[in-house]
Structure 1
Amino acid sequence: MTAVTGGERVPPEFLLGALEPPVKVRHIPLKVPVESFRQRHVGETMRCVMSVATGAVALLLLSGHRACPPSLEDTSAVSNTGGRPPVEQLRVKVLQSLPHDPRASTQGLEMADGRLYESTGGYGESAVTAGPAGKAPTARAQLPALMFGEGITVVGPTLWQLTWRDGIAVERDGRTLAERRRVPYTGEGWGLCHRRRDDRLVMSDGSDRLTFRDPVTFASTGTLTVTEYGHAVPGLNELECAGSHTVYANVYWTDRIVRIDTGTGMVTGSIDAAGLLTRAERRNAGVLNGIAAIPGTDEFLLTGKLWPKMFRVRFVPDSGTRSSGDGL
């Protein structure tokens, strides 16, 4: 069961009112996460709705509350952690707003060597750019029209670029962005980052799994399931490696970023990134999807698909209140 909104396919969970799909205005195809998100969680939601009194569920959904399943709930409400360390609740503190190309459907974002690298998606529109943050790019490389660009990461003089369903990773010169070669892989490509501690790439495919890859051959070297309070976390999208074991991941269709310990697969932090855009700015914007650590600081750049702005932010404890300058 699907609906079509603005020319895109909307997963069934949005028909139930569980989430509010962002407005999309261009012909960029909607990515539907792989089995873990599309089948398991939609199935759980449908079974739950069918098994509970329809009147009560309808009232919950119409009021904006999500009755089930537990893995789609706000885990801050989970009282029994099963002996696991509690997930730190964080929010975004905005330090600066920068201009961002509102035509760019951001799929990957990374800072390296003083330049901001960005990968954009869409058939016939996919490209990778490099240049100063908040300014016009100084280098650009276009993908063939039949390839849909996804996550990127820089490894020394090399830039790796994923494609969505083409099963191809493109190796590029990190300075000129010129293509060097193409390497095949199995499955979908979503997010990508480089874990420097052990020189491995970390890749997402829209499910609850991360795949580790060799930074030279791009061969798979292992997988990891991401969990939060024992529940799998589906929809892992754009990635950013930071620190020795930490990966930050945008969670698709949400304003949430999760901080993952790649040694255990456990979520150690949940970041609320809602409210960055004004109501007017959200009208033509897509989902949050772009996180880049600023080297040498505890700050990050955040943006999203078709967003008119990019934000320099810091992640701070969520006290439930916002002071001036903490959001827009």
Structure 2
Amino acid sequence: MNNKSIWTVALALALAVGGCKTQKGKLEFEKPESGQKVLLGEQLKLKLNFSEAAVDSVIYSIDGNILERKKDTSAVVLDTQKVGLGDRSITAKVYIAGKEDIAYSNVVVLPPSAKNYGFEVVNTFPHDDKAFTQGLQYEGGVLYETTGRTGESSLRKVELQTGKVTKIVPIGDSYFGEGMTIIGDKIVVLTWQDNVGFFYNKNSFEKTGSFSYGNSKEGWGLTYDGQRLIKSDGSNLLYFLDPTTGKEIGSIGVYDENGAVDSLNELEYIEGKVYANVYQQEIIVVINPETGAVEGRINLVGMNTENRQPVDNELNGIAYDVAGKRLFVTGKLWPKLYEIKTVER
């Protein structure tokens, strides 16, 4: 290569480097870094690296909602308590002489660390080891239970002390039964992938109605907080349903200090919190249904080890005796139902 060629290549490289530097100087956020994790309630500074003196306006938005309008590019503060948990998209639109430039970032807002609990077994009761348990509730001295598997799914009434099934109806040969809950004189039952739930009369077990799912296309767990049905679908979302019609009216994401908590399954509403077992884990998480924050984590490893199989034998069933303040848990095809007491670690 001759000297002229060398200088030509060198000049091209210099121009390329200069071009990269120009690109790096485009409008972008200096703070926060994209994907940064922040604690709920933290005051987060939003600052652009843009130093152009004369701007017409800057509009900062969170998830498409305007946070603040300014006449310069000085920093603004985001109160994360007001935006809630989860992945939050941040934009800044800068207008100069009628032209628009946009900077993007995002943060993940997370709750404080959850409390960790172990357990003590207070009592054990017989449980039908052929019951593929999906939903469980204690009321009036007895257990109500739904079981799964297509062609075997059922709604049951069970004696606590003996495990004896005193009433049973099939959910339907084509349905895979899932979670259930009680509202007054009716029982609400989910199916898994059929996009339909059913209402039953609590006393006769007669099917009285049905409803279709909304954005949540699968049925996993179900509970009732006195005003709303709360439904899970195996994701990190809890869905709120109208208790009369079953129509979906909202949802909230569930997060712990590490991020989204997926595989939420069977649910129970206990003293203002939602207890949810995590599918294929020996864990129950305690969720604040107003914020989606996991406030507690109950580790049940070692509670039931007798002849356990790696699949189709999972923890899946939470019930609560409101009057006696007793917590019951069982699982798919488990021969026992356990009354437990949680122990903070």
Question: Would the TM-score normalized by the shorter structure come out above 0.5?
Answer: yes
Give 2:290's aligned residue: 263
Give yes or no for the alignment of 1:92 onto 2:92.
Answer: no
Distance 1:200 1:284, change over 3 A: closer
Correspondence for 2:276: 249
Give, as a single letter, the amino acid of the residue that structure 1 aligns with 2:224. Answer: H
Mapping of residues 163-312 of structure 1, within 5 Å: 163-186=191-214, 187-196=217-226, 199-229=227-257, 231-244=259-272, 246-280=273-307, 286-312=313-339
- Structure 1 residue 279 displacement after superposition: 4.0
| CA distance in structure 2 between the aligned counterparts of 1:218 and 1:169, rounded to whole angstroms | 8
CA deviation after TM superposition for structure 1 residue 84, in Å? 4.1
Question: Is the strand fraction higher in 1 or 2?
Answer: 2
After alignment, is 200-209 or 172-181 more displaced? 172-181
Structure 1: which 5+ residue stretches go unaligned?
Answer: 1-81, 319-328
Quickly say closer, same or farther: Cα 1:83–1:238, change in 2 above 3 A.
Answer: closer
After TM superposition, give the deviation of residue 294 of structure 1 in Å: 1.3
Q: Percent identity?
A: 36
Structure 1 residues 304 and 124, CA gap change in structure 2 (3 angstroms): same
> 2:158 is matched with which residue?
131
Query: How far has the Cα of 1:144 moved from its partner?
Result: 1.4
Bigger share in helix: 1
Aligned residue pairs, count: 235
Distance 1:83 1:194, change over 3 A: closer
* 2:71 match: none
Q: CA deviation at 1:98?
A: 0.8
User: Which blocks of at least 5 consecutive residues in structure 2 are unaligned?
Assistant: 1-108
- The residue identity in structure 2 corresponding to 1:140 is I
Amino acid across the alignment from 1:136? K
Quote the offset at 1:143 in angstroms.
Answer: 1.6
Taking only aligned residues, the RMSD between alpha carbons, in angstroms, comes to 1.8
Distance 1:248 1:304, change over 3 A: same
Structure 1: which amino acid aligns with 2:122? Answer: L
The equivalent of 1:143 in structure 2 is 171
1:113 positional shift: 2.2
* Cα distance between partner residues in 2 of 1:240 and 1:256: 14
Q: Please identify the structure whose Cα radius of gyration is greater.
A: 2
After TM superposition, the score normalised by the length of structure 2 is 0.65
8 A Cα contact 1:298 1:314, kept in partner: no
Deviations 1:148-175 (A, max 9, x none): 0000000000100000001111100011
- Comparing both chains, which one has the higher relative contact order based on Cα–Cα distances under 8 Å and sequence gaps of 6 or more? 1
- Name the amino acid aligned to 1:151: G
For 1:83 and 1:116, locate their aligned partners in 2 and report how far apart those are by CA, in whole Å. Answer: 36
Whole-Å separation in 2 of the counterparts to 1:168 and 1:253:
24
1:108-157, Cα deviation, whole Å (9 max, x unpaired) = 00112222001000011000101321421221110211100000000000
CA offset at residue 85 of structure 1?
3.2
Deviation per CA, 1:183-211: give whole Å up to 9, x if none.
11140000000002xx1110000000000
Contact 1:292 1:302 in 2 (8 A): yes
Other structure's SS at 2:307 match: helix
Letter aligned with residue 275 of structure 2: Y
**Quick one: structure 1 residues 154 and 83, their matched pair in 2 at CA, closer, same or farther if it must change by over 3 Å?**
closer
User: Structure 1 residues 183 and 114 mapped into 2: Cα distance closer, same or farther (>3 Å)?
Assistant: same
DSSP-derived class of the 1:218 partner = coil
Task: Tell me if structure 1 keeps the 8 A contact 2:110–2:258.
Answer: no
Structure 1 residues 297 and 86, CA gap change in structure 2 (3 angstroms): farther
